[in-house]
Amino acid sequence: MVAGLEADLTAMDVGRSRSGFGSDGGFGLRTELSSQMNWFGTVKGRVGVTLPSLLPMVQETLVYVTGGLALAQVERAARITVVPLGVGPQASGDDWTAGFVVGGGSEHRLTPALSLKSETLYYRLQDETLTLARGGDQASYRFRNDGWISRLGLNVRF
């Protein structure tokens, strides 16, 4: 049985965008929403078991489950454009948000100092809302921050 704690920080370029078209009083309305994650980090515990390897180049294999705190820097933007005027309300935000992460993986020890790691994580961060106002009208858009991350890594022990 093996237990441990690890922390990581990843620079990334993951984005989502959506757009739609409607009308209001004879004018066309184009709605554009976007979300961009630039940084993602975790602090998580890891519990697993080591198994003897069946592969000649691998000394042993650790199979584990993991979970803990997730942090991310997320940029959000919402804009409504009135067609044909080309103008309308817009809002944006750029914040660090927190949540949780759970997942599992395996680590294969190649030498006493090197191991190859693969894991898959589900993250769920706090939802965020942007509100657009035009005259007496307003619209709120909720951004749900969740998803899956799979990664490979090479660990070096000192």
| pLDDT tens-place string over residues 14-28 | 888 888 888 777 778
- H helices of 26-152, in order, are none
The pLDDT of residue 69 is above 90 = yes
Q: Looking at the 3D structure of the chain, how many domains does it have?
A: 1
Mean pLDDT of 48-66: 88
**Which structural domain, as residue segments, surrounds residue 63?**
2-13+38-74+95-156
Cα–Cα dist 48/34, whole Å: 38
Residue 18 inside a domain? The answer is no
Whether 28 is covered by a domain: the verdict is no
Q: Who's near 117: CB < 8 A, 6+ residues apart?
A: 105, 106, 107, 108, 152, 153, 154, 155
> Residue 22 is encoded by which pair of tokens?
């409607």
Q: What is the CA radius of gyration of the chain?
A: 22
Taking each continuous run of H as one helix and of E as one strand, the counts in the chain are: 0, 8
**Is the residue at 142 inside a domain?**
yes
What pLDDT was estimated at residue 59?
A: 87
